[in-house]
């Protein structure tokens, strides 16, 4: 488990998506938070470069996210669902 958090930006990003898609997005976000906490163990004290906008692809789902290293969080910015 990780102390890192995740969130959506904007807050209404997932409005209108089916519950199973929302659950998958939330699962991916949790996995990203755990992974990024291991990639950037210094968190708030991190002084190096940070990654830009990145994406995760699944068969019918693609999401874009930012890793906010100094705030120790993953921010989901865009979700494309092909359903």
Q: What are the structural domains of the chain?
A: 5-81 (3.30.2310)
CB count within 10 Å of CB 61 equals 17
CA distance 64 to 57: 9
pLDDT at 50: 83
Where residue 44 falls among pLDDT bands split at 50, 70, 90? confident
Tokens of 80: 């494309």
Short-list 63, 65, 81, CA closest to 4: 65
Q: Which residues, at least 6 apart from 25, have a Cβ–Cβ distance to it below 8 Å?
A: 14, 17, 61, 63, 76, 79
Tokens of 59: 């068969």
pTM over 0.95: no
């Amino acid at each position: 488990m990780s102390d890192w958090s995740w969130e959506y930006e904007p807050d209404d990003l997932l409005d209108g998506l089916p519950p199973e898609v929302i659950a998958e997005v939330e699962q991916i976000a949790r996995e990203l938070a755990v992974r990024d906490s291991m990639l950037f163990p210094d968190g708030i004290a991190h002084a190096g470069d940070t990654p830009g906008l990145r994406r995760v692809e699944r068969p019918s789902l693609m999401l874009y996210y930012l890793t906010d290293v100094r705030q120790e969080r993953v921010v989901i910015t865009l979700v494309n669902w092909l359903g």
